[in-house]
Amino acid sequence: MSETHDPAGHNAFDDLARDAVYQAIFGRRDVRSQFSTAPLDDAVLARLLNAAHHAPSVGYMQPWNFIIIRDMARRQAMRELFLAARQQELPQIETERRALYAKLKLEGICESAVNICVTCDRNRSRNSPLGRWHNPQMDLYSTVCAVQNFWLAARAEGIGVGWVSIVDTPALQRLLGMPDHVVPIAYLCVGPVHGFANKPDLERVGWGTRLSLADLIMSDCFGGEGEAELKQIAKTLSG
């Protein structure tokens, strides 16, 4: 690859390759309703899992496992957990938004080709918790990095991914038979899709809008002003 994009002349991807990475980042969607009935090829799924497996991990701990859930009875049981959890969450939403919340499609558990639960085995540091003695949650964060790798690789492969977080965690642990030292990080609906939406669903339906990046930048300390030039450039960018 050419190295024309790094100011120091090292290691940057060429234009097309760099733009492809941004295209995956900007074009990734949390897919709920656009799964097709096509199967997911094992060769593609293996590549996505390999992408996840190449995430950074604290102390090279690689704490993740990938539970591939195809059995429809188990998926229906998961969907029951989701439905119950959504009913419990609804009263926590502010009153004027509950009608909108109730209409939202928030999962594709039974429509997607497969479900995948990405878990974190908290014992895998084997007595050498490099980088997580002060911050023991770092293994959870490593596992999230694996999820995001999976998600971006899936976008490049044309495969949709939706993360279902509305679920009672102990109930999910029981459903999938996890031991106590293993926690579920992400329950994903995964499979071919009819298409990817141009915007996040929650933006399209008016639940929220994208914040201004410039407003999220701070200088040297929390709330610190400055970085005028960086903020000015940030205002010119879109996704």
> Between 80 and 203, whose beta carbon lies closer to its own copies?
203
Using rule CB under 8 A, residue 72 touches its own copies: no
CB of 115 to its own copies, least distance (A): 9
| Closest to 155 (Cα-Cα) out of 65, 24, 2 | 24
CB of 176 to its own copies, least distance (A): 5
| Closest to 111 (Cα-Cα) out of 46, 32, 167 | 32
Instruction: List binders of its own copies among 103-162 (CB under 8 A).
Output: 104, 106, 119, 126-135, 137-138, 140-141, 144-145, 147-149, 151-153, 155-159
Backbone angles phi, psi at 157, to 5 degrees: -85, 0
> Between 45 and 189, whose beta carbon lies closer to its own copies?
45
The site that binds its own copies (CB under 8 A) totals a number of residues, namely: 135
Residues 6+ apart with CB under 8 A from 29: 155, 160, 196, 197, 200, 201
Tell me if 186 sits within 8 A of 136, measured CB to CB. no
CB of 57 to its own copies, least distance (A): 9
Residue 58: CA count within 13 A, CB half-sphere: 25
Residues 6+ apart with CB under 8 A from 36: 191, 192, 193, 194
Among 32, 60, 77, 102, binds its own copies (CB under 8 A): 60
The C-alpha atoms of residue 111 and residue 114 are separated, in whole angstroms, by 8
CB of 79 to its own copies, least distance (A): 15
Instruction: List binders of its own copies among 7-46 (CB under 8 A).
Output: 7-8, 10-13, 16-26, 28, 30, 36, 38-46
Residues 6+ apart with CB under 8 A from 152: 24, 25, 28, 51
CB of 162 to its own copies, least distance (A): 10
Site track 195-224 with its own copies (rule: CB under 8 A), x = hit: xx---x-xx---xx-xx-x--xxxxxxxxx
> Between 110 and 230, whose beta carbon lies closer to its own copies?
230
Among 50, 76, 87, 198, binds its own copies (CB under 8 A): 50
Quick one: CA dihedral 26, 217, 149, 20, positive or negative?
A: positive
Among 87, 123, 165, 198, binds its own copies (CB under 8 A): 165
